[in-house]
């Protein structure tokens, strides 16, 4: 079996001061897999993603990236290994070309170069936005730029905190196309989502976050109904 690229073994996550938000988290993600984290607001999905990215140290246990302890990796190595899409919308007066350049860690210097390289054919609406300022577009357009910036970073692991935010329905389809394209190239995607369409069609596997822990759930209509009702939100072990 191909070894996991991202592994959490009995990890506790949370902010350094205070109780862990999640305990006994065990997740493994393989190359080419798309994994979704679902669960109610405030259960700790974002905190978990931030721990996977190394923004927060695990309070217990180890996060392993491609066989290395995340804690032992330097910021530059991490940036080249695991990319993160923030739910925050940046209000920066900076051009799209520069965002792409910075995200690509210097490989690319413009939106045009990204489009000329091997990249998913999505979000045509923002192609040619290279010279535009990020804070002068709609939040949906900004979101598309940040998704393309994640592609420009071209890491083996892509973490997305609610990637559907601000996207219109056709763009949601394109987002799914982007993720499928990335996984087909052997990339691993972990995303948090509240989007029914995403939950139904996209992930290879589903993890439900709730009750201070994370459990894997089958990707079935039964699980979706339980999620919708909220009652059976925590699946049977």
Partner 1 sequence: MSSVLPVPDAGVRRHDVAVLVSTATVLLVVTGFSVFFGSAGLTPSEVLHGLRLAIGGTPMGTPEAQIVMLRLLRIGLGVLVGASLGLSGFLLQTAFRNPLADSYLLGVSGGAQLAVTLVALLGLAGTVASVPVMIAAPLAGALFVLAMLLIISRRIGHDLLAFLLSGLALSYMLNALYSILVSTRPDILSNTIFWSWMGLNRASGTGMAVVAAGLAIAVPAVMSLMRPLRSYLVGDDFAQNVGVNVRTTRISLLFLSVILAATDVAASGVVGFAGLFSPHLARLLTRRTDRTFVVLTMLMGATIVVVGDLMARSVSASEIPLNTVLSLFGAPYLIWLSIKSRRAV
Q: Which long-range contacts does 221-228 make (Cβ < 8 Å, 24+ apart)?
A: 224/196, 224/199, 224/200, 227/38, 227/199, 228/196
- Determine, following the binding rule CB under 8 A, whether residue 102 of this chain makes contact with partner 1: yes
Among 16, 41, 91, 231, binds partner 1 (CB under 8 A): 91
Check residue 86 for interaction with partner 1 (CB under 8 A).
yes
- Beta strand ranges found along the chain (DSSP E): 6-13, 22-29, 34-38, 60-65, 68-69, 82-85, 157-161, 188-192, 205-210, 213-217
Asked if residue 131 binds partner 1 (CB under 8 A), the reply is yes
Interacting residue with partner 1 among 95, 193, 195, 198 (CB under 8 A) = 95
| Piece in contact with partner 1 (CB under 8 A), picked from 33-41, 71-79, 114-122, 210-218 | 71-79
- What is the footprint of partner 1 within residues 132-171 (CB under 8 A)? 133-135, 146, 149, 153
Q: Is 101 in the site for partner 1 (CB under 8 A)?
A: yes
What value, to the nearest 5°, has the Cα angle with vertex 143 and ends 141 and 148?
Answer: 95
Q: Residue 198 interacts with partner 1 (CB under 8 A)?
A: no
- Listing DSSP states for 150-181 in one string gives HHHH--SEEEEESTTTT--HHHHHHHHHHHHH
Cα→Cα distances 104→48, 165, 222, Å? 24, 23, 41
Using CB under 8 A as the binding rule, whether residue 98 contacts partner 1 is answered as yes
Q: Binding pattern to partner 1, positions 25-64, x when CB under 8 A?
A: ----------------------------x-x---------
CA distance 196 to 34: 16
Residue 116 within binding range of partner 1, rule CB under 8 A: no
Residues that bind partner 1 (CB under 8 A): 53, 55, 74-76, 78-80, 83-84, 86, 88, 90-95, 97-99, 101-103, 105-109, 131, 133-135, 146, 149, 153
């Amino acid at each position: 079996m191909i070894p996991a690229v991202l592994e959490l073994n009995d990890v506790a996550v949370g902010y350094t001061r205070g109780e862990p938000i999640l305990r006994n988290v065990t997740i493994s993600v393989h190359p080419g897999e798309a994994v979704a984290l679902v669960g109610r607001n405030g259960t700790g999905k974002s905190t978990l993603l931030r721990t996977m990215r190394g923004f927060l140290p695990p309070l217990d246990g180890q996060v392993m990236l491609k066989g290395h302890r995340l804690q032992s990796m330097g910021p530059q190595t991490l940036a080249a290994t695991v990319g993160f899409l923030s739910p925050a919308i940046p209000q920066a007066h900076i051009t799209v070309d520069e965002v792409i350049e910075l995200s690509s860690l210097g490989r690319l210097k413009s939106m045009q170069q990204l489009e000329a390289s091997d990249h998913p054919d999505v979000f045509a609406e923002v192609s040619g936005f290279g010279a535009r300022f990020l804070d002068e577009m709609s939040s949906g357009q900004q979101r598309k730029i940040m998704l393309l910036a994640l592609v420009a970073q071209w890491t083996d692991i892509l973490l997305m905190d609610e990637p559907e935010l601000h996207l219109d329905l056709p763009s949601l389809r394109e987002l799914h196309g982007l993720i499928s394209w990335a996984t087909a190239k052997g990339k691993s995607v972990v995303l948090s989502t509240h989007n029914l369409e995403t939950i139904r069609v996209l992930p290879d596997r589903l993890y439900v976050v709730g009750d201070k822990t994370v459990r894997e759930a089958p990707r079935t209509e039964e699980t979706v109904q339980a999620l919708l009702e909220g009652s059976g939100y925590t699946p049977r072990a």
